[in-house]
Amino acid sequence: MDNLKAKKGFLCDMDGVIYHGNNLLPGVKDFVEWLHRENKKFLFLTNNSGKTPKELQHKLKRMGLEIEENSFYTSALATAKFLNRQKPGCSAFVIGEAGLFNALHDADITINDVDPDYVVVGETTQYNYDSITKAMRLVNRGAKLIGTNYDLTGPSDSGIIPACRALITPIEVTTGKSAYFVGKPNPLMMRTGLSILGVHSEDTAMIGDRMDTDIIAGIESGIDTILVLTGVTNLENIEQYPYRPRLILNSVADIVSL
């Protein structure tokens, strides 16, 4: 734990670590106060592409937590940055929410449902047969298939729900094309997080609740890994994976109390 407290930067997942749905998890306020008190650099790094950083800021504010807007980085922002670097001025057919559309717009990527360069799929509740069919036909015509994140499921107030990888699978299966996923565990998102904080990987810790995104992302990026048991992963299903986090904690509150 002394090694953890010596870290200069913290990349922290949100769903299952900071909150469940619209409920702040116990000990989170104390953890954020500790980050400020110890002058730690931190970034909330979320694979959920549905909300903008401003919306995430307001969401936490409604829960009683004041966080600066620039302390959030989403898979939507990472996806927009990736596409802009791959093909500046490109266009995309998008299945997603406002956070994804806004990020693409800000990166000068136009929405196109006729002959787009890319089909981009993110988290959404607006998912139907017509959107799947449209995406399938566009990919078959040559559009490249992009997923904002690799999560198969995600937490909610009502329990586990399908996430991006589950939504994009019908398009992959019907076209025979594999999607490229930009969010965690893709090191691209982790490197951007380190760049935003201005810290090196060896001076940084990744805190997450998922072995298949948060923890493997940290391991592959050379970042210290802390798994918390407030989200998807429990002590039993950790054993399914051939890798382990360095620390397993009940919640982020343990960082402060220990």
Written as one letter, the residue type at 92 is A
**13, 235 contact by CB (below 8 A):** no
- How far CA 104 is from CA of 149, 171, 255, in Å, comes to 15, 21, 36
**47, 149 contact by CB (below 8 A):** yes
CA distance 251 to 258: 11
**Residue 202 half-sphere exposure, CB side, CA atoms within 13 Å?**
0
Classify 32 in phi/psi space as left (phi over 0), alpha (psi -120 to 50) or beta.
alpha
User: Is 224 an active-site residue?
Assistant: no
Classify 39 in phi/psi space as left (phi over 0), alpha (psi -120 to 50) or beta.
left
Give me the catalytic one of 2, 15, 113, 209: 15
User: Is 15 an active-site residue?
Assistant: yes
Using CA atoms of 148, 110, 140, 132 in order, give the dihedral in degrees to the nearest 10. 60
Give me the catalytic one of 2, 13, 113, 214: 13
Written as one letter, the residue type at 69 is E
Any residues with CB less than 8 A from the CB of 250 and at least 6 apart, and which?
Answer: 228, 229, 230
What is the set of active-site residues? 13, 15
